[in-house]
Structure 1
Amino acid sequence: MSDTVRENGVIVAIDGPSGAGKSSLTKLLARRLGYIHIDTGAMFRAVALMAKRAGIAADDDAGLAGLCRTLEISFVRDGEACRVLANGEDVSREIRTEEIGLLTSAVSARKPVRAALLTMQRAMGAKGGVILEGRDIGTVVFPDAEVKFFLSASAEERGRRRYLELAARGDSATLEETIAKVIQRDRQDEGREHAPLKQAADALPIDSTSLSIDEVLAVMESAVRERIAKGEKG
């Protein structure tokens, strides 16, 4: 890989299991660097939501392929937040339910869905200056990304974080149930046939179990700025 940077900067890939803090850290890092945040997880969630509405089963490849051909996904910044639009409709809240989360894991394993969104994601990020987070960004979507991170934490800690998020929203769930769903999601993501969750060989691993979000952010920002500086010198 060349040491130079792309037209708008570098591509930063952040992978890891559900609940590791990828979304929060990606947003914060994007603000620090002035980069665009492409939320690939939200894109898959949008497909899952629209499939549910259309009555398309998670294993109906033909139905999912047809859905993706007519689905336009975009992101709109709203102050500090970023809204997710599916065919122009704001689905930011609907895609974040536990039901859609589990359905997303099944839908995202289907080849037609991955192929359709892969094309969208590569087009969005080709010129650099972007940060993408998901489960296969550094291995499949952008294997040539200049900076790659693999963010993880124990299942218990990730379940605890998710439980607190749900409780803050007023959703009913027990801590035990939430941890169990995190473990179930891990098994689905790691065992799927197409683009399973795994760490890229050249990714920097970060275990956030006992680290604060500021501590993790500092490590990530330092690594990216170091790579940018190296490219500018080259």
Structure 2
Amino acid sequence: MVIAVDGPAGAGKSTVCRRLAQALGVAYLDTGAMYRAVAWALAQCAMDQASDQRMRQELPLLPLEFLIEAGRLRIDWEGSPLGDELRNPSISRMASLVSQRRPVRDFLTQKQRALSRGHDVVAEGRDMTTVVFPDAELKVFLTASDRVRAERRWKEYKEKGLSADLEDILRQIQERDAADSQRVLAPLKPGKDAIILDTSELSIDQVVEQLVRWAMEAREKALKREGSP
């Protein structure tokens, strides 16, 4: 069973999906980490500025492996797991750039679909409901007002002891929303038949509880289809 969750920045996708996967006892597929891993790998090989043709040829040859282990995504480089290397802010910025390259998206779409075979997964990412898993048993588009999302991000920074200006964060979110929704490659939008859930007035617990209910309903429907003659 695949539960695909999409939505704009600051909607709470990562936090909700981790807890949802834990509540259901299924794997959590962090597609953002996969993009950061590819960005890091391309930087190691001085390929981040390579042509689309070269990227398409070289990406499958990189010693980069994606695995589901104990319900979590594990990413190996040359047989050793990657960790802190992917948490560098510069890698996050690079991941945002390489995610706009079609060879990278095609490569990771294939990997993400492969990881879902043989595993029940909660897959979280910007194009999960539209491109990667358009036929997922449950598709959810999490959203919230731009002001609420900015306030959430501002609180996260404050809790980490980082200085941040709420209005600057709001402007950045609005600019990213516009860029994501207008891009040619995998624009930000709900997938067909995706359930749109506005979390502006909901707590994380309430969102997770609602998604658990929908997931159980989707699982029951899937089992009935499998058992029907």
TM-score range, shorter chain: 0.7 to 0.9
> In the alignment, is residue 21 of structure 1 matched against residue 21 of structure 2?
no
Tell me how far 1:218 sits from its aligned partner: 1.3
Whole-angstrom CA distance in 2 between matches of 1:146 and 1:160? 32
The amino acid of 1:145's aligned partner reads A
Give the structure 1 partner of residue 26 of structure 2: 35
Tell me if structure 2 keeps the 8 A contact 1:102–1:185.
no
**1:19-42 deviation line (CA, Å, top 9, x unaligned):** 111111111111111111111111
1:186: how far off? Answer: 2.1
When structure 1 is superposed on structure 2, of 152-161 and 131-140 the one drifting more is 152-161
The answer to whether the 8 Å contact 2:3/2:137 transfers is yes
Residues 184, 118 of structure 1: alpha-carbon distance in 2 compared, 3 angstrom cutoff: same
Name which of 139, 142, 167 aligns with 2:133: 142
Q: Distance in 1 between matches of 2:81 and 2:178?
A: 30
Aligned twin of 2:42: 51
Number of the residue aligned with 2:202: 211
> Which of 75, 92, 103 is equivalent to 1:85?
75
Aligned to 1:74: 66
Taking a change above 3 Å as real, the CA distance of residues 92 and 158 of structure 1, as seen in their structure-2 partners, is: farther
Structure 2: any 5+ residue segments left out of the alignment? none
Quote the sequence identity (%).
38
| 1:86, distance to aligned residue in structure 2 (A) | 4.7
2:121 aligned to which of 130, 134, 156: 130
Give the TM-score normalised by structure 1.
0.81
Shift of 1:64: 4.1
1:229 CA drift (Å): 1.7
- For 1:209 and 1:23, the matched residues in 2 are separated by 16
* 2:75 maps to amino acid: L
Q: 1:18 to 1:60 in 2, by over 3 A?
A: farther
2:109 aligns to what SS in structure 1? helix
Deviation at 1:173, TM superposition (A): 3.3
Q: Secondary structure at the match of 2:129?
A: helix
- The 3 A distance-change label for structure 1 pair 89 and 66 is farther
- Structure 1 residues 91 and 128: alpha-carbon distance in aligned structure 2, compared to 1, 3 A threshold: closer
| Structure 1 runs, 4 residues or longer, greater than 6 Å off | none
The number of equivalent residue pairs is 223
Partners of 2:160 and 2:174 in 1: CA distance: 22
* Matching residue's letter, 1:46: A
Residue 156 of structure 1 and its aligned partner are, at CA, apart by 2.1
Q: In the aligned structure 2, how far is the partner of 1:97 from the partner of 1:164?
A: 21
Give the structure-2-normalised TM-score: 0.83
Q: Secondary structure at the match of 2:136?
A: coil
Distance 1:214 1:194, change over 3 A: same
CA separation of 1:148 and 1:58: change in aligned 2, threshold 3 A: farther
Q: Is 160-169 or 149-158 further displaced after alignment?
A: 160-169
2:195 is matched by which residue type in structure 1? L
Q: Is the 8 A contact 2:17 2:124 kept in 1?
A: yes
Note if contact 1:40-1:132 (Cα within 8 Å) is conserved in structure 2.
yes
CA distance in 2, matches of 1:86, 1:169: 28
